[in-house]
Amino acid sequence: MPRSEHGVSRQDISDNALKVLYRLHNAGYQAYLVGGCVRDLLLGLHPKDFDVATNAEPEQVKALFRNCRLIGRRFRLAHVVFGREVIEVATFRGHHVQDEEEQDDKLGKRSEEGLILRDNVFGGIEEDAERRDFTVNAMYYNIADFSITDFAGGMKALKERKIRLIGDPETRYREDPVRMLRAARFAAKLDMQIAPEAGRMIPELASLLANIPPARLFEEVLKLFMAGKALQTYKLLQEYGLFGQLFPQLQPMLKVPGSKECQLLEQVLINTDERINNEQRVTPAYIFAAMLWYPLEARCAQLQAESGLSAYDAFNMSVNDVLHRQQQRIMIPKRFTLPIRDIWMLQNRLPKRFGRRAYQMLEHPKFRAGYDFLLQRAAVEGGELEELAGWWTEFQDADQDERRRMLDALQTRDNKRPGRRRRPRSKKPAQ
C-alpha cells in the first residue's frame, strides 16, 4: 500500500524510532516499523512501543549506535536506548532447517514438544513475515518510501475484527505457547474476536504453558492485567482454560459463579482498569495480593486444623507456602513479594486499633494499599469487615480530638462485651 492508500503518518511515529529507521536506511540496510505499532497506527491508536525490523544483524546494528546493547540468547535482539524509551531492533528471522542434524544448535533449536529454544536463524523479509504470530502483526512500514506491505492479510483481519494465526495453529502454539496468552490479550485490547481456527486448539494445548520459564510468564501477566482491559482479558483466559495455568491455587475457587472469590477478583480487576484508564498509579503487588488472598486463607485454615498451630504462626507459614507455590509458575520479583506480604499482614493488623496502634497503622508505608484492599474485601464480604472499613475511613479524615473520641468509644465497647474481664496488673514485690 503506497502512502496515499493508508493513514500512517511520520507525525504519529516516535522521533527516536525515526532516528533508528533513518540511520539504518542511510547505512544501506532495509528498515521497517513492524508488528503492533503498525497495527495500532492503522487503527488510530497510540502505540506504546515501536519495534524495528531490518536485514542488519545484531552486531551490525550495534556498530551503528553507541547507545545500543545486545540482549537475549534464545532470541538475539538489539535495544537502542534513548533515556526511558527503548527502540527494539530485530533482524529478519528465517525458517529453521527441517533436518535437525543440519541445523546449528547455536542458531536454532527446538524441544521434542516443538518449543523453540533458540531462534537466531536469519532470513529475508518474506520469511520474517511468515514467522510472525498473527496476521495483524505481519504488516511492515517501509521508511524508504513510506509504504506498508501486508504479507498475511492483516488489513482484512482488522476489518473483520478477527485475531488469526499465521500457519498451522497447533504448530505455532507448540513453537511458543505464550502465543495463546497473546491471542487473548490482543482480542481484549483491540475489542476483537479470536478466530475459531485459532481458538479451537487453545484449551487442549493450554498445559504447554508449564514449559515456559516463570520469569517470562511474569512479564506476560503484567501485559495481560496492566493494560486497562484486565476484566475482559480475564474472561477470555477463563473461556479458553488459560487462567488456571497461571494461578493454579486460585482456579479451583472460581468454579461457582458469584462466589466471594469471583466477586473479589472481578472487583479488583474493574478497579485496576478504572485506575489505569484514568492514568492513576497501579502496582502489580496489589493485583497479586488480591488473587492469592483466598488461597492464603484456605491454606491458613488447613494448617490450623492439621497442625494445631496458632493463628499467627499458621498465617506466617501460609504466606510463605502460597508465594512459593505461585513462584513455581510465575516468578514474582522480590520488589513485589515484599509489598504483597505487607498488604496481607495489614489485613490482620487493621482490626487491632487500640492505644497507639491506630496511629502506627496510619504511618505504615503500605497502609493505603492495605486499606484499599480492606475496602474491596468489605464490599464483597460485608459484616464486620464493612464496619471495620468504615471506621478506618472515618478515622483517617478525623481531627485529633475526634480520633481520641473514636478510640475511647472503641475501648468502652470492647470492655462491655459479655464475658470479658480485664486481667489485673501484677504487683511488684516490695523492696
Residues marked as catalytic: 49, 51, 133
Q: Which of 288, 363, 353 is nearest to 319 (CA)?
A: 288
Taking every pair of Cα atoms in the chain, the longest distance, rounded to a whole number of angstroms, is 100
Beta strands in 154-236 (DSSP E): 162-163, 193-194
Q: Which of 94, 92, 83 is nearest to 19 (CA)?
A: 83
Distance CA 125, CA 214 (A): 32
Cell of 247: 494461578
Contact present, 364 and 370 (Cβ < 8 Å)? yes
Q: How many CB atoms lie within 10 A of CB 140?
A: 22
User: What contacts 24+ positions apart, CB below 8 Å, involve 316-323?
Assistant: 319/344, 319/345, 322/249, 322/292, 322/295, 322/296, 323/292
Distance CA 108, CA 284 (A): 34
